[in-house]
Structure 1
Amino acid sequence: MCTGEIEHLRHLFFECPFAKSCWHQVGINVDDWEIESSHDWLLQKLAQGSKLEVINISQVLWGIWFLRNKSIFEGKTMTPEAIMVWSKKQILDWKPTNKRSTDAKNENGSRYLNYRRWQPPEAGSFKLNVDAAIVVGQNSFFVGMVLRNHLGQYESGKVMKKVKKVGAFSVLEAELTGIVEALLWARDIVLGKVVVESDSLLSIQAVQHHY
């Protein structure tokens, strides 16, 4: 964005003069000298920040990344003020659309979750968040996993692809396979109690009832 430094995530989102101006536009003062790890800083803000602060952070990160790609692939530029106005509009447009989509799912009797803010595990434990992404009818799927400690600090993460030689994966099979793979992965990384968290209600019920 500034063509003055080698690009890496910390510089792109925090150290670059363009990024600093974007943070200023939403009223967040970011001292990059105090951010030893941008990953830990972001995870802490998502876990402990107010709803408005999380929205503002999303606005900045989304806007910078969008314009960065526009600049590279299309040669387009915008001022920090303009891209923050654009990014805010996307969020404002997304809110009613997302609400209508959620309401429609709830009315149709589909699975509905009351989303809650991420909660850290008890002291000395780790939380393992797992999610699978699948296209129905395909013989493969991707599973993502993130491991954090009781302070909400990022320990490690991984994305892997699983392929079935015969037939296709069902959604439940993919979610359960993902949980197993995540536990096997976490076993080799940390010592201590690991709490698994998934958005697949059927998978959690199956594990809890030993199905």
Structure 2
Amino acid sequence: MEAESTSHILLNCSFARSGWEGIGVRIDDAVQTSFTDWALNVFDEWNVANRQMGAMLCWKIWNCRNALIWDQKSTEVQEAVCSARVALSQWKEAQDRFFDRSWGLLVPDDGDELWSPPTENKTKINTDAAVFEASSRYSFAFAVRNHKGELLEARSVCKEGCTTPECAEAMGIREALSWIKDKRKTDVIVETDCLVAVQAIRGSAPMTSYFGAVIQQCRSLLKEMKDKGVSLKFVKLSANNLAHAFASCSYSVADRIWKANKVSPEIIHVLENDLK
């Protein structure tokens, strides 16, 4: 509807505006300056995480534009944002392959780089969280899969307010453990890519912060279900893509239960990649 320019494609187009809002950045008025000037200005104000997410979103918007023009393939904004977050997670993982099990409170089973299904008669739950600083929101989610890699159920929660990434991650672990208890499940492996939360839960040091209160609840739930075969495991980002995708996609969604036949093509793509 308008002359194509870098600023229009990546900022002023309604698709692009919705995408930026999806990562917590609101562009109220049409940007009159060049995209370069706009990016240099906001990058001075943003932290590293926001810069990385902004760059990845621009890349995904450009891919969506090309897919529409050259392949007549239309993409939903939510799918674009979710895909950008997953791609960023994978990029970060590729930058840092270092992992040392000598870090405190880790066990030999920790540190998987790829997701793998549990053994038969067991269930695996992956948890993750996302913090949207610009809009003062955060979300956490967990995904439940069986030994065939099939998605049984996923849940996501988005809340208003400010919290640290570690605290949001701990809330996601608590939510997963509470679900296990409520469903009276046994033989369940809970996986998270938050090393800080795993170390805190496995530790015994008392903590008086809100993060500490959530950690204590996780400790209590694990202790209560110790004889039920419920365990907690640390994995790398690349082994936690599905939970990350659900947490990232829940920006504008309140409490939600996802079923296998109700997920987006982007989620299905993550499921298929994990099984590869």
Taking structure 2 as the reference length, what is the TM-score of the superposition? Answer: 0.33
Higher RCO structure, 1 or 2 (CA under 8 Å, sep 6+): 2
